[in-house]
């Protein structure tokens, strides 16, 4: 494009030079050829002016076209510059990121160390939790044993109370039976005494009448109340139970 513009300028320059040379040649030839004055083309200047105007119009159009192309090129250059700026910023960010890689590696290593410490701490906590669970099971077992012992003590106390009640009842029954037995023996002795009293009265009456005591068959006298011994055969088991 610039080459064609230069060619146009060169053509215009050559045309101007040729026109000037033509005018100079025509001026120099006038005194010599006075007879051919009528053959001179007086419209040559107008033709040259029209030719130059046409060339200048073409130059103007080319200039405007070049200006438009220059604007397009400027837009392309601006776009390329913007893209280059973006690429440069990307490269700068990449360089910054690459520069921070060692720091990131150190941070990652620190995090790995912290994770290792946390893992050890978790293991310790897990062990402590297992120990706490074992301790809880032991305490629950001891609590259950204490509860069973308490229930056993209550049951034992209840049974002892029932046993005391049974013993008291059996002792009372035994006393009542002994009392009834004694009353029965006293009644028997009283009946015997009354019988012996009647016999004695009859003998005394007969003695008073006859003056002699009749001989009666020997009667085995019963034991007195003080000599009565209770038969404890039936209460042997009860006495043994009460002694225990």
Domain regions of the chain by residue span:
2-29+42-99
List the alpha helices (DSSP H) in the chain.
Answer: 2-29, 44-99, 101-210, 236-243
Give the pLDDT of residue 221. 47
Contact 66, 1 (CB under 8 A): yes
pTM of the model: 0.32
Task: Answer left, alpha or beta for residue 211, where phi above 0 means left and psi between -120 and 50 means alpha.
Answer: left
Answer with the residue of higher pLDDT: 127 or 244. 127
Tokens at 223, concatenated? 């034991």
Q: Which of 49, 62, 57, 61 is nearest to 15 (CA)?
A: 49
Count of CA atoms in the C-beta half-sphere (13 A) of 124? 6
Interval 188-228: pLDDT, tens:
888 888 888 888 888 778 777 776 655 554 444 455 444 44
Answer with the residue of higher pLDDT: 200 or 65. 65
Query: How many residues can be counted in the chain?
Result: 244
Answer with the residue of higher pLDDT: 131 or 1. 131
9 pLDDT higher than 60: no
237 pLDDT higher than 80: no
* pLDDT-above-70 percentage for the chain: 68
C-alpha angle 201-202-206 in degrees, rounded to nearest 5? 115
Tokens 């004695």 correspond to 200
Give the pLDDT of residue 33. 44
* pLDDT-above-90 percentage for the chain: 23
Q: At what angle do helices 101-210 and 236-243 cross, to 10 degrees?
A: 140
32 pLDDT higher than 60: no
Query: Sorting pLDDT into bands at 50, 70 and 90, what band is 15?
Result: low
Query: Sorting pLDDT into bands at 50, 70 and 90, what band is 29?
Result: very low
Query: What is residue 35's three-state secondary structure?
Result: helix
**CA 163 – CA 240 distance, rounded (Å):** 14
Query: Sorting pLDDT into bands at 50, 70 and 90, what band is 128?
Result: very high
Q: Which residues contact 102 (CB under 8 A, 6 or more apart)?
A: none
The pLDDT of 92-118, averaged and rounded, is 89
1 pLDDT higher than 60: no
The pLDDT of 2-15, averaged and rounded, is 57
Mean pLDDT for the chain overall: 77
Answer with the residue of higher pLDDT: 30 or 174. 174
């Amino acid at each position: 494009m610039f080459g064609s513009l230069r060619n146009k300028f060169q053509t215009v320059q050559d045309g101007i030079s040729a026109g000037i040379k033509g005018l100079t040649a025509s001026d120099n030839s006038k005194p010599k050829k006075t007879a051919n004055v009528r053959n001179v083309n007086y419209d040559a200047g107008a033709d040259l002016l029209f030719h130059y105007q046409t060339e200048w119009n073409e130059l103007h159009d080319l200039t405007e076209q070049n200006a438009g192309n220059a604007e397009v090129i400027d837009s392309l250059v601006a776009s390329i510059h913007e893209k280059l700026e973006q690429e440069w910023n990307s490269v700068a960010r990449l360089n910054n990121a690459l520069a921070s890689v060692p720091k990131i590696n150190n941070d990652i290593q620190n995090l790995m160390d912290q994770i290792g410490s946390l893992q050890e701490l978790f293991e310790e906590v897990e062990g402590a939790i297992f120990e706490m669970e074992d301790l809880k099971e032991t305490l629950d077992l001891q609590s259950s044993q204490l509860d069973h012992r308490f229930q056993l003590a209550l049951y034992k106390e209840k049974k002892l109370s029932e046993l005391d009640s049974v013993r008291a009842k059996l002792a009372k029954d035994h006393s009542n039976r002994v009392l009834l037995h004694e009353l029965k023996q006293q009644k028997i002795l009283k009946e015997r005494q009354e019988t012996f009293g009647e016999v004695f009265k009859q003998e005394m009456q007969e003695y008073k009448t006859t003056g002699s005591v009749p001989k009666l068959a020997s009667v085995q006298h019963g034991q007195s109340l003080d000599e009565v011994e209770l038969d404890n055969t039936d209460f042997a088991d009860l006495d043994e139970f009460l002694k225990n």
